[in-house]
Structure 1
Amino acid sequence: MESNWKAVCQLADIPRLGSRIVKRAGDDDIALFRTETDAVFALTDRCPHKGGPLSQGIVVGEAVVCPLHGWQIGFADGKACAPDEGCTGKHPVWVEEGVIWLAVG
């Protein structure tokens, strides 16, 4: 499947240690996360444990803690941190001149 890049928001639109949701019709939403060092990551907004909204979780380093049961999901690969097991989707994202771009399609 071919990917196209879409500008979804400004880096300044996401507070440090915060998130923003990108809605997708007919599919799970994508959560964009901004770390304390301004790195940006995109994960499917669904915890692999019980489907909790990761966008409502707490950003800790380069992971998010699910608000439902405390699972930590790594931004680098979307995998649950041990001892938990499971994975959510990771989506290509990059920042250029303060604009966040997301691969879609």
Structure 2
Amino acid sequence: MNGFIDIAALDDIPRQGARVVKTPQGCIAIFRTADDQVFAIDDRCPHKAGPLSEGIVHGTSVTCPLHAMVFDLATGLSVGADEGAVRRYAVRVEAGRVLLDAEFLLRRSAA
């Protein structure tokens, strides 16, 4: 699949929710919005290491469950007065399956 790995069915991720993919380099949170957009970011808030996969998804943003820091899922950048960012990963949906960019993960592990 051209460097992408199949990680889940889209229906396995609840709307406005997330699932976690564990990798040797850390956990990645896969988010699904109310309108079925899918995003992948590190599952760790840079402020207090909160599990972003347990945060509240609203629009294309997620709010950290520990201290309400908000991140744009498309850019990985914090929203509002807070400063910070999380790593984003290429993800796509094909035939109802969620695919994650395996090449990016391999490059990250070699770094």
Q: Could you say which TM-score interval applies, normalised by the shorter chain?
A: over 0.9
SS in 2 for 1:52: coil
Q: How many residues align?
A: 102
* 1:22 paired residue number: 21
Return the alpha-carbon distance in structure 2 between the equivalents of residues 98 and 64 of structure 1.
Answer: 23
TM-score by length of 1: 0.94
- The separation in 2 between residues aligned to 1:38 and 1:76, in whole angstroms, is 13
Instruction: Give 1:82 deviation, angstroms.
Output: 1.7
Q: Percent sequence identity over matched residues?
A: 46
Q: Which residue number in structure 2 is paired with residue 67 of structure 1? A: 65
Q: Distance in 1 between matches of 2:46 and 2:26?
A: 12
Amino acid at match of 1:41: F
**Structure 1 unaligned spans of 5+:** none
Unaligned runs of 5+ in 2: 107-111
Runs of 4+ in structure 1 off by over 4 angstroms are none
- TM-score, length-normalised on structure 2? 0.89
Q: Return the offset for 1:4.
A: 2.1
- Work out the CA distance in 2 between the residues paired with 1:77 and 1:28: 19
> Which residue in 2 is equivalent to 1:7?
6
Q: Aligned partners of 2:93, 2:42: CA distance in 1, in Å?
A: 18
Structure 1 SS opposite 2:26: coil
- Residue 51 of structure 1, CA deviation: 1.1
Output the amino acid matched with 1:85. Answer: E
User: Whole-Å Cα distance in 2 between the matches of residues 81 and 66 of structure 1?
Assistant: 12
Normalized per residue, which structure has more helix?
2
